[in-house]
Amino acid sequence: MKTVGELGEDGLIARICAGLAKGGEVVVGPGDDCAVVGSGDVLTLLKTDAVVAGIHFLQNEDARRVGWKAVARVLSDFAAMGGKPGELMVTLALESTTPVRWVGELYEGMANCLKKHGGVIVGGETTSLPEGAPAMISVAGRGTVRASQVVTRSGGRPGDAIYVTGTLGGSIRGKHLDFTPRLKEANWLSQHFKIKAMMDLSDGLAKDLPRLARMSGCGFTIDRETLPLSKGVSVEEALGDGEDYELLFTSGDEMEGTWAATFPDLPLTKIGELTREKDDHLEGGWDHFKR
């Protein structure tokens, strides 16, 4: 009997999505950073995302940083669609032996992130876990996006330049907990330029760029020499470490000059181009089920 580990994350998701019924006010369905639903000038973004002890954070990690990360991951997905955060719900699955103080600090971290970047917690759920099970924090909710500003993974076209914000790799040294969701930057980009396709880099460029290219029906070439490396990081690590939470996007517009004037502290790097050929791939990146 085949396991999800043998099938891999992308295979599992493809299989799930193929079986889903259509309907509702769905503008963008499964497979993108968020679902987009509704109608009119302002659409609703829906997102759910979970962090698990032992996978996304260490059991003994500062709960404030865990809370920040749990919320910032969702905000990063709202950003990747060109949108803004709205109302969120938090599901806590905890052992009964969890200290109350830990929960308090977790919410402190979430509140800090929301205060800085927008969004509000309007509810959620608590559930107990069997003894020894790892804590899980799931954040779900809605954001908003102007219909004219929606950016998906699938709008890329051959000849588009491929860009990334910030630097890649080495997130395990701390950035995976303390990163800044690129809301300001993504909103600015989608307001001022024709951004064809966009996503946030959560599983590493080697995993995420092929996903974006595939959804856009394109291949890609990248110049490994141009990759913006985090300090002390190799090209392989920049490709494969994951959890960069930077924006990956494609566009036919020139924007480096205006970008540098607007966001002087955050690099923007052209790393390659979408192509007509579809057989490219990159080694590395994070698969949730294959190890």
Q: Binders of a copy of itself among 122-141, rule CB under 8 A?
A: 122-130, 132-134, 136, 138, 140-141
Q: Which span sits near a copy of itself by CB under 8 A: 88-96, 145-153, 171-179, 207-215? A: 88-96
Scan for tokens 């020139």, then name that residue: 254
- Residue in 115, 173, 224, 281 binding a copy of itself, rule: CB under 8 A: 115
Counting contacts by CB under 8 A, is residue 154 touching a copy of itself? no
- How far apart CA 63 and CA 67 sit, in angstroms, is 6
Q: Output the smallest distance, CB 169 to a copy of itself, in A.
A: 22
| Angstrom distances, CA of residue 195 to CA of 61, 173, 176, 250 | 37, 31, 26, 6
- Residue in 14, 55, 172, 260 binding a copy of itself, rule: CB under 8 A: 55
Closer to a copy of itself by Cβ: residue 7 or 266? 7
Half-sphere exposure of 260 (CA within 13 A, CB side): 5
Contact (Cβ atoms closer than 8 angstroms) between residue 81 and residue 32: yes
Counting contacts by CB under 8 A, is residue 21 touching a copy of itself? yes
Q: Strands 136-146, 42-52: parallel, antiparallel or unpaired by DSSP? A: antiparallel
Closer to a copy of itself by Cβ: residue 48 or 230? 48
- Residue in 97, 264, 265, 283 binding a copy of itself, rule: CB under 8 A: 97
- Contacts to a copy of itself from residues 61-80, by CB under 8 A: none
Closer to a copy of itself by Cβ: residue 90 or 162? 90
CA angle 130, 134, 135 (to 5 degrees): 95
- Residue in 43, 44, 197, 228 binding a copy of itself, rule: CB under 8 A: 44
Sheet architecture: strand order including 268-275:
195-200, 247-251, 161-165, 268-275, 219-222
- Contacts to a copy of itself from residues 202-231, by CB under 8 A: none
Residue 283 Cα to chain centre, angstroms: 20
- How far apart CA 281 and CA 99 sit, in angstroms, is 45
Q: Strands 120-128, 195-200: parallel, antiparallel or unpaired by DSSP? A: unpaired
- How far apart CA 45 and CA 23 sit, in angstroms, is 16
- How far apart CA 209 and CA 215 sit, in angstroms, is 10
Counting contacts by CB under 8 A, is residue 146 touching a copy of itself? no
How many CB atoms are located within 10 Å of the residue 113 CB? 24
Closer to a copy of itself by Cβ: residue 6 or 236? 6
Q: Which span sits near a copy of itself by CB under 8 A: 4-12, 182-190, 205-213, 218-226? A: 4-12
Counting contacts by CB under 8 A, is residue 114 touching a copy of itself? yes
DSSP state of 132: T
CA angle 25, 189, 198 (to 5 degrees): 55
Counting contacts by CB under 8 A, is residue 174 touching a copy of itself? no
- Contacts to a copy of itself from residues 261-290, by CB under 8 A: 288-290
Nearest one of 251, 257, 258, 254 to 195, comparing CA atoms: 251
- Residue in 14, 16, 58, 172 binding a copy of itself, rule: CB under 8 A: 16
Q: Output the smallest distance, CB 167 to a copy of itself, in A.
A: 26
Q: Output the smallest distance, CB 141 to a copy of itself, in A.
A: 6
Counting contacts by CB under 8 A, is residue 42 touching a copy of itself? no
Q: Output the smallest distance, CB 258 to a copy of itself, in A.
A: 32
